C-alpha cells in the first residue's frame, strides 16, 4: 500500500460522494428547467396543430369554392340538356335528314357526359373539404374518433366488463 490509512480513504470517499450528489437547489433548478422545456414543447405542438387546422380550413374553403363552381356547371348542363337536345334535333333533321331518335340521342349523350364529369369533380372537391389531416391528428391526441356514431349511440356493441 502507499501508506494511506483506512480513515484517510473513507474521508476521501465521503468527499467524492458529496461532490457527485447534487444539492436540493440544483435538483429543483433541473426540475424547473425540464418543466419549462415540457411547456415549450406543448406550446410548439399547439402552434403546429393551429397551423394545421388553418391550412386545412384554407384547403376546405378552396375546395368548397371549386365544388360550387362545378356544381353550377352540372346544373347548367343538366338543366339545359333538353334545350340542347331540341336544338340539335332541329339542326340535324334539316341538314342531314336524321331521324328524331338519332338526333335526340346524340345531344342527350353529350349533355349527360359533361354532367357526369361535373358530378365527378364535385365529389373530388367535397372529399378535399373533409379535413382529413386534422382528423388524423385529433384522433392521435384522443380528441376525435372516426368511429363515433352521433346518431346511433345505442347501436354500439356493449363493452365487456372485466371483473375486479
pLDDT tens track for 87-116: 866 687 678 887 777 777 777 787 788 889
Q: What integer is the mean pLDDT of 143-164?
A: 55
pLDDT tens track for 11-27: 656 655 555 666 888 88
Torsion of CA 129, 130, 133, 134, to 10 degrees: 100
- Closest by CA to 118, choosing from 88, 80, 83, is 80
Report pLDDT for 43: 92
- Is-contact 122 67, C-beta < 8 A? yes
Between the ranges 22-31, 98-107, 128-137, 147-156, where is the mean pLDDT highest?
22-31
- Is-contact 53 64, C-beta < 8 A? no
pLDDT level of residue 37 (50, 70, 90 thresholds): very high
Amino acid at each position: 500500500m502507499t501508506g494511506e490509512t483506512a480513515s484517510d480513504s473513507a474521508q476521501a470517499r465521503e468527499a467524492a460522494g458529496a461532490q457527485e450528489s447534487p444539492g436540493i437547489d440544483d435538483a429543483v433548478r433541473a426540475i424547473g428547467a425540464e418543466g419549462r422545456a415540457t411547456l415549450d414543447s406543448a406550446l410548439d405542438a399547439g402552434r403546429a396543430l393551429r397551423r394545421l387546422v388553418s391550412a386545412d380550413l384554407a384547403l376546405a374553403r378552396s375546395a368548397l369554392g371549386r365544388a360550387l363552381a362545378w356544381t353550377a356547371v352540372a346544373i347548367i348542363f343538366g338543366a339545359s340538356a333538353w334545350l340542347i337536345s331540341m336544338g340539335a334535333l332541329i339542326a340535324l333533321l334539316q341538314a342531314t335528314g336524321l331521324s328524331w331518335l338519332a338526333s335526340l340521342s346524340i345531344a342527350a349523350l353529350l349533355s349527360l357526359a359533361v354532367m357526369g364529369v361535373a358530378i365527378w369533380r364535385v365529389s373530388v372537391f367535397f372529399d378535399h373539404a373533409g379535413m382529413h389531416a386534422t382528423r388524423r391528428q385529433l384522433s392521435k391526441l384522443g380528441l376525435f374518433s372516426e368511429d363515433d356514431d352521433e346518431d346511433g349511440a345505442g347501436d354500439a356493441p356493449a363493452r365487456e366488463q372485466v371483473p375486479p
